[in-house]
Amino acid sequence: MSLIKTPEASPARIYAIYALMAQMNGQRLEIDALKKMIMPSVFASQNLERSETDFIGKTIPEMISLGLIQQENNFLEITDTTIPKGSISSQIAMLLPHTIRKRALVPEEGQNDDLGRIIAWYLSQNPYRAPGNWKEVEEALLKQLNDKMECSSDARYGQFEDWSLYLGFTTRILKQLIPDPTKVIRYFLPELFHDSQTHLIDTIVHRLAQLCPVFEHGSYRTKMNDIYGTEELLQNHLSQSTSYAWLRLQDEGIVDLKMRSDADVYVLTAQEKKYRYSEITWNG
């Protein structure tokens, strides 16, 4: 089981099931009742064997593996404790992607390593020239890696695109996908700066790699480099996608990037321009 290999387990479907169960205020919900609530028109036709309901049965195991719910006999209940009980739909919509990201991208568990590897590869792409659709991604994978990895079909690519967007690693402009982890970094700022509002960039880079291992020095990114040589970053250089995210956060006034003469310098690159900074201040 994995999110990228289970097309039925889309972000929208996982959200729909979780949000519906959250309305039960901790009560268990029968699986057949869940199906009737989500697909009432199918059950109204009294054709309960139709494939339209198959996605529920195939999505449930993925939600169980993520620790969102548990199943006992034919009943389900929420086990996740990171989203407060009684949260309304808008709160769940905001918090659920971060909960899933933390649960899915755990190299030690290996459940969604395929998704972690392809996201790590995509974040190494130049956002200004990144492959933005299935045909371009297929060509780039074969050219750079001689391996399609888990994006071996249009359907698998669709899962990668849906989940990378939902988890905050990419964005879409005019139907073209581009790497953009700004949302992820913004979410992790309180954890990155939990002990001080200002840190050396080197400290933040390594903390981010621990929190989310698809970034530079993270285990997924390192593994991809070891196996495929996907990017040849010079020491203390950030990829263009990570650089773009930090520079965007600075433009938004959320962080300040500064240069200190007595500290190690990191190079951030945006298109052909290079910026040299040594520390980051989170404006809280």
Question: Residue 161: CB partners within 8 Å, gap ≥ 6?
Answer: 170, 177
Reported as a pLDDT band with limits 50, 70 and 90, residue 192 is: very high
- Give me the helices (H) in 66-178, please: 89-104, 113-123, 134-145, 154-166
Helix (H) or strand (E) holding 188: helix 182-192
pLDDT tens, residue by residue, 102-156: 999 998 778 899 999 999 999 999 999 999 999 999 999 999 999 988 888 899 9
Structure tokens at 72: 């006992």
Is the pLDDT at 44 greater than 50? The verdict is: no
Distance CA 7, CA 66 (A): 16
Is the pLDDT at 47 greater than 60? The verdict is: no
Report the pLDDT averaged over residues 215-240.
91
Residue type at 25 in one-letter notation: N
pLDDT tens, residue by residue, 241-278: 999 999 999 999 999 999 988 888 999 999 889 999 99
- DSSP, collapsed to helix, strand or coil, labels residue 224 as helix
Report the pLDDT averaged over residues 1-7.
89
Judge whether 247 and 255 are in contact, CB under 8 Å: no
- DSSP, collapsed to helix, strand or coil, labels residue 88 as coil
Report the pLDDT averaged over residues 180-200.
97
Q: Which of 163, 137, 161, 166 is nearest to 149 (CA)?
A: 137
Report the pLDDT averaged over residues 187-212.
97
Q: Which of 155, 167, 66 is nearest to 122 (CA)?
A: 167
The rounded percent of the chain whose pLDDT value lies above 70 is: 95
Average per-residue pLDDT for the chain: 91
